[in-house]
Amino acid sequence: MSKAPAQSVFHILVVLSDVMQGGRHSRHTAAARGGVSVVTADRWLRALLKVPGCRLTKSGKTVWLEWASPVRGAARQGSEGDE
């Protein structure tokens, strides 16, 4: 039996959160993090590519999902003019 949809959404968002915080996930690490099969994790990675800022990189034979911030200067937002 498969997981409840809300639980699956939670786990894919955990993977996305990891990536957005500077981590990276392969299909194997995403599967371990989400408690799903490697095939399911592979589908997750392909689905997360639709999120602006997510990209795939290859290191040897491993394909990694990484974050490349789509908005430049977002980290500085709020620090200007706060005098």
Q: State yes or no: pLDDT of 78 exceeds 70.
A: no
What CATH number has the domain spanning 9-69? 1.10.10.10
Q: Give me the pLDDT at residue 69, please.
A: 75
In whole angstroms, what is the distance from residue 51 CA to residue 59 CA?
Answer: 21
Tens-place pLDDT, residues 26-47:
999 999 999 999 999 999 999 9
Whole-structure pTM value: 0.74
Per-domain boundaries in the chain: 9-69
Q: How far is CA 53 from CA 2, 20, 49, in A?
A: 29, 8, 8
